[in-house]
Amino acid sequence: MNLNLYNLFMLSDKLRNDFPQLKVKHNGHSLIYLDSAATTLKPQKVIDAITEYYEKFSCSTGRGNYFLSSQLESKINESMKSIAKFLNCEEEEVVFSYNTTYLINIISKILASNVKENDEIILSHAEHSSNLLPWYMIAKQKNLKIKFCPFNKDLTIGVSEIKSVISPKTKIVSLAHMTNVLGNTIDVHGIGNFLKEKNIYFVVDGAQSISYHPVDVKKIQCDFYVFSAHKMCGPTGLGIMYGRKKILEKSEAVIAGGHMLKSLTTDGSHDFVSLSSKRKWQPGTSNYAAIFAMKETISYLQEVGVDNIKKHCIELKQYLVSELKKLPNIEMYNEKLESSILTFNIKNCSAEDVSFDLSSKGICIRHGDHCSKILKNIIKVQASLRISFYLYNRKEEIDYLVKQIKKGKDFLNHLFE
């Protein structure tokens, strides 16, 4: 239906009806879900697709010639084509696995064979643990150096910031397209093209960005782009990786098992030959139900329009900021950034207590360090509250949230009611 922004607002109730979880009530309060940066709610058509797999196509692919296996293989290929088109890449460059975390671990192991002692990896202070710990592990194993790219004054990263930190020893740059605490984005196109000229591997963590920003991996010129289905209205348990074809073809497998083996020796050499690059990176039985449902997931996002979702969420955040500024006790850390995320605290109140109190009113927001362990050194707080919007949120929910914050003189009252 390719909605424009005006229609997205007008049809918000219709869109909300697509998400059955919004009918849930807690303590008599309607659900207000403001934690989409952690995971998005699922539309009925995606839920129906998962059910359809288990009801009609529950089998395995790759080795079965019977009709069910062939039908499932066809459905899986349809999803693969949808994702490849969504990313503007070849089908052979799409790899399925468990989640973003697992795939960044795989990527780090792939690229580990291309680095040597004292080579450098560039990260940022705002990275999620999923894009920190895998590189820490590789750096420790191979005695590499990790450097952190600075932010500019707008809390973003562009080519000039990358130039300020790279050296002839820099081999890998791995950054989040959009961070999960501040919602700031990086100049992926400028950085990608610059790093391509320097022959530096560019890995993009797209877990937060995939459902807010159109992604064209060919224009970005990245070597890997990785994200999770559950953050884009899709099912849990499915990570998706774009990997540059040349790298996937030449690299040795880093995990091994069924569905990937072409031949092996028994003469004591322990050699084996993998199948095509797609099979090489997807050993074992895949999450067929989730892959099956990805065609409907992509279709839903395309019908609404990723650009429309982004505009809608930015407008909601701007409205929330304007309402919170009317209160005397709010400290916001990223109010000027155009994003779907607002991170803040209520002065002299524990983030955990505030989140728990709002939960008793049916409001779901995140508290803590949000798996971004280094960022606290930048924003100078140990824990914060995070609100993250998506297409099913509306201004009336913000009004209710602000009303509850105003009422919450003591955020422990709910324990004694």
Max Cα distance, the chain (Å): 76
Supply angle C-alpha 234, 54, 94, rounded to 5. Answer: 45
Compute the distance between CA of residue 208 and CA of residue 179 in angstroms, rounded to an integer.
7
pLDDT of amino acid 409: 56
> Distance between CA 68 and CA 70 in Å, rounded?
5
Query: Is residue 1's pLDDT more than 50?
Result: no
Residue among 149, 313, 349, 371 flagged as catalytic = 371
Helix pair angle (44-56, 288-304), 10° resolution: 150
Query: Same domain for 67 and 109?
Result: yes
Same domain, 196 and 310: no
Considering the domain architecture, whether residues 133 and 34 belong to the same structural domain is answered as: no
Q: Is the dihedral of CA 237, 93, 209, 128 positive or negative?
A: positive
Q: Which of 249, 271, 302 is the last residue of a domain?
A: 302
- The tokens describing 82, both together, are 């949808």
Q: For residue 130, give the CATH number of its domain.
A: 3.40.640.10
How confident is the model at residue 61, as a pLDDT? 82
If you search the block for the tokens 């803590």, which residue do you land on?
Answer: 368
Judged by average pLDDT, the poorest of 57-71, 91-105, 291-305 is 57-71
**Phi, psi at residue 36, to the nearest 5°?**
-75, -15
Known catalytic residue at 371: yes
Does 259 have pLDDT greater than 70? Answer: no
Predicted confidence (pLDDT) at residue 299 exceeds the cutoff of 70: yes
105 lies in the same domain as 194:
yes
Q: Which of 254, 281, 302 is the last residue of a domain?
A: 302
187 and 65 housed in the same domain: yes
Do residues 318 and 240 both lie within one domain? no
Q: Are 163 and 132 in contact (CB under 8 A)?
A: no
Is a pLDDT exceeding 70 seen at residue 260?
no
Q: Which range among 33-37, 223-227, 253-257 shows the weakest confidence by mean pLDDT?
A: 253-257
In a shared domain, residues 255 and 332: no
What's the rounded Cα separation, in Å, for the pair 342 and 320? 8
Do residues 175 and 318 both lie within one domain? no
Q: What percent of the chain has pLDDT over 70?
A: 86
Q: 107-149: per-residue pLDDT in tens?
A: 999 999 999 999 999 999 989 999 999 999 999 999 999 999 9
pLDDT band at 271 (very low <50, low <70, confident <90, very high): low
CATH of the domain at 10: 3.90.1150.10
Residue 396 structure tokens: 């009336």
* 397/297 same-domain check: no
* Domain limit, last residue, from 284, 302, 320: 302
pTM here?
A: 0.92
> Same structural domain for residues 191 and 64?
yes
Number of domains in the chain: 2
Query: Is the per-residue pLDDT at 316 higher than 50?
Result: yes
- On whether both 31 and 127 belong to a single domain, the answer is no
Using pLDDT thresholds of 50, 70 and 90, give the confidence band for residue 261. Answer: low
Per-residue pLDDT band for 173 (boundaries 50, 70, 90) equals very high
The domain containing residue 152 runs over which residues?
Answer: 47-302
What is the token pair recorded at 89?
């890449």
Q: Are residues 114 and 219 in the same domain?
A: yes
